[in-house]
Amino acid sequence: MLFATANAFADGGMSYEYQGFKGKHPFSDTALLFAADDHNPAFGYSGIVMFDGKKTSGFWSPGRNSARVLPGTHTFVIRADWDHTGSITGSTTGVTATGSSKTLDVEIEVKDMKPLHVYVVRYHLDGEKLGLSVEDLGERAKYQPNLITRAAAF
């Protein structure tokens, strides 16, 4: 597992961050949304796959861990990914790997995103029903998500 400190405004951003605008903007004029929920590490592979109707990554790559956006109201599609199971079985004839996970794309709207604010997607499971919410951590909030290393991410 990769542990990353994400005071992105002071440190210059995360390595797999989506930039939701064209051109250059100072960090002081942007907001940051994380798909990694530090309260629920079971969703560590979740990511942002669309921002305001545009794909954030290629077909084979996972969603982005975070998105830096201009202030205002924005729509995100979060690919929630959880319940990972897997096993490796060895025998005289070879090795077999099996596994599964659950994924669901959920569209969320985040209203009135403010500059310098850090937002986090929170995942809630009630039995088999998945709910998402977004928490505003405030201006220049220090946030420390547990980002699981993915080959396409770095």
Question: Which residue, 47, 42, 15, 18, is CA-closest to 32?
Answer: 18
DSSP secondary-structure letter at 23?
S
In the prediction, which pLDDT does 7 show?
42
Residue with the larger pLDDT of the pair 64 and 139: 139
Q: Does 23 fall in a domain?
A: yes
| Residue 151 pLDDT exceeds 60 | no
Q: Does 99 fall in a domain?
A: yes
Q: Does 67 fall in a domain?
A: yes
Q: Rounding to the nearest 10 degrees, give the CA dihedral for residues 11, 124, 88, 153.
A: -20
Question: Which residue, 29, 13, 9, 11, is CA-closest to 21?
Answer: 29
Q: Does 71 fall in a domain?
A: yes
CA atoms within 13 A on the CB side of 149: 5
Q: Does 154 fall in a domain?
A: no
- For the record, the structure tokens of 16 come out as 């797999």
Number of structural domains, the chain? Answer: 1
Q: What is the mean pLDDT of the chain?
A: 80
Q: Does 42 fall in a domain?
A: yes
Q: Which structural domain range is residue 68 located in?
A: 2-147
Q: What is the pTM of this model?
A: 0.78
Of 11-20, 50-59, 80-89, 94-103, where does mean pLDDT reach its minimum? Answer: 11-20
Q: Does 152 fall in a domain?
A: no
Q: Does 153 fall in a domain?
A: no
